[in-house]
């Protein structure tokens, strides 16, 4: 595939949380999923009490939208429309497997939340999770910057979507009982500012639930620079549990509860990583060769086993935080 999308960037040698110069963790990475041009470096903060991983150089904020010109929503469009049968088949297998293995611990946590009130999903994509939460009794709204995802969320599910970045959406202060961020915080330039805005729109006592890839889980340990969730240049950060806690505290959440989850993408994570290792890229929506298909369940079982005895092998971090009543 031609790498025809160019992004303007700026160097980011230092950690945005503690200011220390980052050590080079991976260098010469390319976009392995879609078609953004360029070579990318990931740095890691040398401070063990931080451990943040970030992209250097980093695309300019005003340029980053180009990195999503081809993205997962395109697969959704294909599967809604005339549809390549392989895309439809893979999506069906993916969903069935996720249900069977009950791997989406984040969704299961959301399903248990009571009482059900007003929910805002920030970075809601095409709105699948919102539709599910609405069916469980929540009054739901989404925020999404990508116009194609907004269109699908409105047309397919009839959802109320604010088509803007959350800070520009003109949302009222203190109105939501729950704000969710699923695989969003790693995509934004200023995670602290994002969380502050989420905190502002929460009512006092309201909760924020976020989930993001875990920098030190099974995927990164086993697949190294081939781990699909590094996803340069769309993932600007990959968080350790400590770094993520620090980001929440800076945004004004006093006692964020940080939990390592096994990871919802038990199918796509090894599949994508194995394909990147084999051929330098993973092409979403294509059927991989038999040897990859056979290796995926072995990785799934081994990761489940490691995670059972050591949660640090979890591939996702969940944070649950409450807006304290007293502070503004
Ligand atoms: Zn740091």
- Cα of 53 to ligand 1 centre, how many Å? 8
Task: Please check whether residue 134 lies inside any domain of the structure.
Answer: yes
- Cα of 130 to ligand 1 centre, how many Å? 34
C-alpha to C-alpha distance for 300 and 32, rounded to whole angstroms: 22
**Least confidently predicted of 73-77, 194-198, 231-235:** 73-77
Residue 78 has pLDDT above 50, yes or no: no
- Cα of 22 to ligand 1 centre, how many Å? 8
Task: Please check whether residue 282 lies inside any domain of the structure.
Answer: yes
**Least confidently predicted of 129-133, 293-297, 322-326:** 322-326
Q: Which domain, by its residues, includes 259?
A: 9-322
pLDDT at 82: 43
- Cα of 187 to ligand 1 centre, how many Å? 18
Task: Please check whether residue 218 lies inside any domain of the structure.
Answer: yes
- Least Cα distance to 95 among 317, 286, 265 occurs for 265
pLDDT at 24: 97
- Cα of 191 to ligand 1 centre, how many Å? 14
pTM of the model: 0.89
Region 313-328: what's the mean pLDDT? 86
Q: pLDDT higher for 68 or 248?
A: 248
pLDDT at 3: 64
Instruction: Identify whether the C-beta of residue 86 lies closer than 8 Å to the C-beta of residue 79.
Output: no
Residue 220 has pLDDT above 70, yes or no: yes
- Cα of 50 to ligand 1 centre, how many Å? 5
Of the pLDDT bands very low, low, confident and very high (cuts 50, 70, 90), residue 193 is very high
C-alpha to C-alpha distance for 201 and 194, rounded to whole angstroms: 11
- Cα of 14 to ligand 1 centre, how many Å? 8
- Cα of 52 to ligand 1 centre, how many Å? 6
Region 203-214: what's the mean pLDDT? 96
pLDDT at 81: 46
- Cα of 113 to ligand 1 centre, how many Å? 33
C-alpha to C-alpha distance for 313 and 31, rounded to whole angstroms: 25
Instruction: Identify whether the C-beta of residue 37 lies closer than 8 Å to the C-beta of residue 5.
Output: yes
Q: Strand 40-44 vs strand 23-29: parallel, antiparallel, or unpaired?
A: antiparallel
- Cα of 239 to ligand 1 centre, how many Å? 10
Of the pLDDT bands very low, low, confident and very high (cuts 50, 70, 90), residue 4 is confident
Of the pLDDT bands very low, low, confident and very high (cuts 50, 70, 90), residue 264 is confident
CATH of the domain at 236: 3.40.50.150
pLDDT at 79: 47
Average pLDDT in the chain: 89
Token pair, residue 124, equals 């809601």
* Positive/negative CA dihedral, 243, 244, 249, 254: negative
Task: Please check whether residue 3 lies inside any domain of the structure.
Answer: no
Total tally of structural domains belonging to the chain: 1
- Cα of 199 to ligand 1 centre, how many Å? 23
- Least Cα distance to 24 among 50, 55, 58 occurs for 55
- Cα of 263 to ligand 1 centre, how many Å? 24
Q: In what order do the strands lie in the sheet with 53-56?
A: 23-29, 40-44, 53-56, 237-238
- Cα of 16 to ligand 1 centre, how many Å? 7
pLDDT at 234: 92
State the alpha helices, DSSP H only, in 18-122.
72-80, 85-101, 105-112
Place of tokens 């729109």: 201
**3-class state of residue 309 by DSSP:** helix
C-alpha to C-alpha distance for 183 and 296, rounded to whole angstroms: 22
- Cα of 256 to ligand 1 centre, how many Å? 18
> First-to-last CA distance in the chain?
50
Task: Please check whether residue 2 lies inside any domain of the structure.
Answer: no
Region 142-154: what's the mean pLDDT? 92
**Least confidently predicted of 29-33, 63-67, 221-225, 295-299:** 63-67
pLDDT at 222: 96
Own/partner long-range contacts of 80-85 (Cβ < 8 Å, ≥24 apart): 80/152, 80/156, 84/285
Residue 77 has pLDDT above 70, yes or no: no
Q: How many CA atoms lie within 13 A of 288 on its CB side?
A: 24
Task: Please check whether residue 327 lies inside any domain of the structure.
Answer: no
Q: pLDDT higher for 2 or 9?
A: 9
Region 293-300: what's the mean pLDDT? 90
- Cα of 73 to ligand 1 centre, how many Å? 33
- Cα of 54 to ligand 1 centre, how many Å? 10
- Cα of 246 to ligand 1 centre, how many Å? 10
Protein residues near ligand 1, an ion, with CB under 5 A: 15, 17-18, 45, 47, 50, 52
Task: Please check whether residue 1 lies inside any domain of the structure.
Answer: no
- Cα of 41 to ligand 1 centre, how many Å? 16
Of the pLDDT bands very low, low, confident and very high (cuts 50, 70, 90), residue 117 is very high
Tell me the per-residue pLDDT of 29-76, one tens digit each, with 9 for 90 and over: 999 887 788 899 999 999 999 999 999 999 998 887 777 776 665 555
Task: Please check whether residue 328 lies inside any domain of the structure.
Answer: no
């Amino acid at each position: 595939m031609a790498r025809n999308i160019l992004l303007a960037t700026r160097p980011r040698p230092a950690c945005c949380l503690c200011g220390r110069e980052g050590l080079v963790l991976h260098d010469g990475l390319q976009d392995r999923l879609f078609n953004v041009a360029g070579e990318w470096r990931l740095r890691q903060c040398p401070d063990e009490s931080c451990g943040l991983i970030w992209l250097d150089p980093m695309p300019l904020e005003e340029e980053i939208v180009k990195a999503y010109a081809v993205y997962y929503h395109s697969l959704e469009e294909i599967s809604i429309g005339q549809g390549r049968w392989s895309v439809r088949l893979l999506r069906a297998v993916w969903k069935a497997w996720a249900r069977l293995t009950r791997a989406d611990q984040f969704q299961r946590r959301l399903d248990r939340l009571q009482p059900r009130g007003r929910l805002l999903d920030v970075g809601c994509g095409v709105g699948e999770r919102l539709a599910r939460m609405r069916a469980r009794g929540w009054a739901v709204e989404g925020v999404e910057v990508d116009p194609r995802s907004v269109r699908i969320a409105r047309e397919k599910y009839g959802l109320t979507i604010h088509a803007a970045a959350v800070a520009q959406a003109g949302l009222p202060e203190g109105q939501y009982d729950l704000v969710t961020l699923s695989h969003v915080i790693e995509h934004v330039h200023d995670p602290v500012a994002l969380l502050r805005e989420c905190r502002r729109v929460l009512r006092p006592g309201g909760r924020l639930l976020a989930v993001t890839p875990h920098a030190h889980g099974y995927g990164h340990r086993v697949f190294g620079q081939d781990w699909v969730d590094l996803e340069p240049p769309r993932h600007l950060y990959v968080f350790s549990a400590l770094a993520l806690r620090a980001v929440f505290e800076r945004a004004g959440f006093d006692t964020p509860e940080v939990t390592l989850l096994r990871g919802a993408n038990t199918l796509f994570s090894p599949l994508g990583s194995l394909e990147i290792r084999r051929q330098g890229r993973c092409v979403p929506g294509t059927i991989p060769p038999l040897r990859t298909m056979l290796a995926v369940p072995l990785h799934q079982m081994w990761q489940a086993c490691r995670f059972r005895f050591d949660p640090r092998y979890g591939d996702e971090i969940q944070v649950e935080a409450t807006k304290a009543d007293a502070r503004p």
